[in-house]
Structure 1
């Protein structure tokens, strides 16, 4: 194996990342670009995407930004059309956009906000992968990575919408993996565990004392592992950085 392939294992690849404006998505976008991929960074806020783009360019990487809301299917179609028009195809999709919701116990939750959490985390991921699949099939192979959560197997008060959305997302990923296996497209789940981001609102919730509380960059090695597996590599698998109770 050459030195170039060791240091830039994603050379020639094109990655599309939703929720790339901050936190985990931004850290992975920068890392994928440093590994040689051309990265299309998407989120709802153009200002945050601009910061991500600046970090990638400062590191010598290639990237473009595309403002879009995962809840809007037409915007996801436009996102992947942009990626193909700009870089010629798509190899890696990280469905990372999400929201933790309002954090209220179910009885006191707001129905509209509860539904919104489901729409962003589940329907948004559906819209993302649904729009991506034709382009991945045209490429002859590809990788879909969904950002899951340990909340789907650890019940915590105030997270009913979030946990429900992530549980459904995991089942969707498993079904999709079976459906796409014949096309050399893998579908796997990445569970970051507790990470210090704006979404997790650190200081407002507690975790077991043995839990690994991470920075966004701590998730990068696992994200890189999933992006660099063989075309006929693992699929329908969940990879977790969270300690199970």
Structure 2
């Protein structure tokens, strides 16, 4: 599925990722954890083609991604939900309205879209007047609309009320149960604990821990050392 091998990514002369490797297997939900500035979002940006790693390889379903453009990677089935709600672009595209395009999707995609409740008035205001939680759900729905083979999410619960977080957890669990693999960057460890099969922890641009959800849950020293959180 997704294989990231020893990538080194930079912002100008700043060496941000120093040999990051990770995998996401079919049907898995994998989290990428770490303190602010650890390199989580840079890893996602490298996978998506926003940043081109200077060293290392990224393969998705056997195809090399390094050097491909953003739209080329998206066409291969790498879908992304918006990170912070304020970054969400308009919910419509030119041409057919979103609800019409949803009706024309394959059955599997329509089933996944039913997991995401439709925000009230989304078609009228193009997403601009929605709450943060509604915008995040709309972002996930838009990603699913393109029938992705892998869903990437960057801190989808950030700044949301607990009741909305619980709703997003339910949505992501259903998406995962449908067999869609997910790579999730998330600060809320309770969310990660409820959803993840495996965890990676980044520290200063390097992977310092990889383990199953069960092993991570049983080892509070990892949280204390790398995430500044108690068990």
Same fold flag (TM > 0.5): no
Q: Calculate the TM-score normalised by the size of structure 2.
A: 0.38
The structure carrying a bigger helix percent of its residues is 1
The TM-score with structure 1 as length reference comes to 0.36
Decide which structure has greater strand share.
2
